[in-house]
Structure 1
Amino acid sequence: MADPCKPQACAIQDCLKQNNYNESKCTQAIDQLYACCSNFYNQNGEEARSPCCPIPRLLRFKIKQRENEMVDAKLMES
């Protein structure tokens, strides 16, 4: 089975290369990968594995971490 999230993972790599590995310039691509991975686990169960996706527990942590960073960024704008 082909990895359904491989295009999103490749998009992150391309974005990082184009932006001198500045992750802050690739947040949209990262969010798209995490959304794909969430869908992957919702459809296939948490025991499923994808080389392009963090394990479910780590994925949830990373999504929560990114949400907190967005809240912090919005607070700094105020």
Structure 2
Amino acid sequence: MSWLMGLEQDLRSNPPCHPQAVYCLTKNGYNEAKCTKLVDALYQCCQAFYERNGDGATTVSCPKPNLLRLKMEQRKAGIQ
């Protein structure tokens, strides 16, 4: 339940889906391996953002919907 509350908070932030992943990536030279859990949380938030607002919605924090879906499939398959 706390994850859901965090997701709702991330969806309401300005810009939406701007959790600590961006800070972690910046701090670590954009090495996703050092920020895996935060990047996963960002992508989950972005997925919820598009489900709620449609594929035409935009936020600077999220990749385009088709790229997001590809990234999520790659992460499930273990391809980063």
State the Cα distance separating 1:21 from its structure 2 match: 4.3
Q: Is 1:38 the counterpart of 2:47 in the alignment? A: yes
Cα distance between partner residues in 2 of 1:15 and 1:25: 8
% identity of equivalent residues: 47
How many residue pairs are counted as aligned between the two chains? Answer: 66
Partners of 1:51 and 1:32 lie apart in 2 by: 16
Give TM-score, length-normalised by structure 1: 0.73
How far did 1:3 drift? 1.8
More helix by share: 1
Which position in structure 2 is the counterpart of 1:59? Answer: 68
Would the alpha carbon gap of residues 62 and 2 (structure 1) be closer, same or farther in structure 2, given more than 3 Å must change?
same
Partners of 1:13 and 1:44 in 2: CA distance? 22
Change (3 A) 1:49 1:20: closer
For residue 14 of structure 2, what is the aligned residue in structure 1?
2
Q: How much has 1:14 moved relative to structure 2?
A: 2.5
Give the TM-score taking structure 2 as reference length: 0.71
Consecutive unaligned residues of structure 2, counting only runs of 5 or more, are: 1-12
Any unmatched runs of 5+ in structure 1? 71-78
2:27 is the counterpart of 1:15: no
**What is the alpha-carbon root mean square deviation over aligned residues?**
1.9
